[in-house]
Amino acid sequence: MRILHTMLRVGDLDKSLDFYTRVLGMQLLRRKDYPDGKFTLAFVGYGPEDTHPALELTHNWDTSKYELGNAYGHIALGVKDIHGTCDAIRKAGGKVVREPGPMKHGTTVIAFVEDPDGYRVELIQQGTQ
């Protein structure tokens, strides 16, 4: 088995696609409208789905906001230069909500950014896990 995708419900698909593609550098892999169900699925990631996991951004046409609750954690991205990546994300208009540094109670070097819905994306400095 392998991880195929993680599904996130998003309130504004255009804003989310801009964040995940322009700000985080992902590719839009495929997008399909389901008019009978009044929703759109857009898959984004860093490579083709037959070899890379993807995010499934689900847009329900009648829902513009979700209660994220306190159970959801994050998706994590490995990065070569966490400081440079955070600077680039800020420059592109992204929101860094936790500056790079060792995790609390540990040594892995992490940072957190927030997507347009408030979902957190963790950046992990490669080689520090």
Report the distance separating Cα 33 and Cα 23, nearest Å: 24
Q: What angle do CA 2, 80, 7 make, to 5 degrees?
A: 35
Candidates 103, 114, 118, 128: give the one binding ligand LWWXVOTR (CB under 6 A).
103
Which of 45/100 has CB closer to ligand LWWXVOTR?
A: 100
Exposed, middle or buried, 114 (CB in 10 Å: 0-12/13-18/19+)? middle
Residue nearest to Ni ion (CB): 76
**What does 104 bind: ligand LWWXVOTR, Ni ion, none (CB cut-off 5 to 8 Å by kind)?**
ligand LWWXVOTR
The interface with ligand LWWXVOTR within residues 63-102 (CB under 6 A) comprises 76, 98
Q: How far is the CB of 20 from ligand LWWXVOTR (least distance, A)?
A: 19
Q: What residues are paired with 78 via a beta bridge?
A: 124
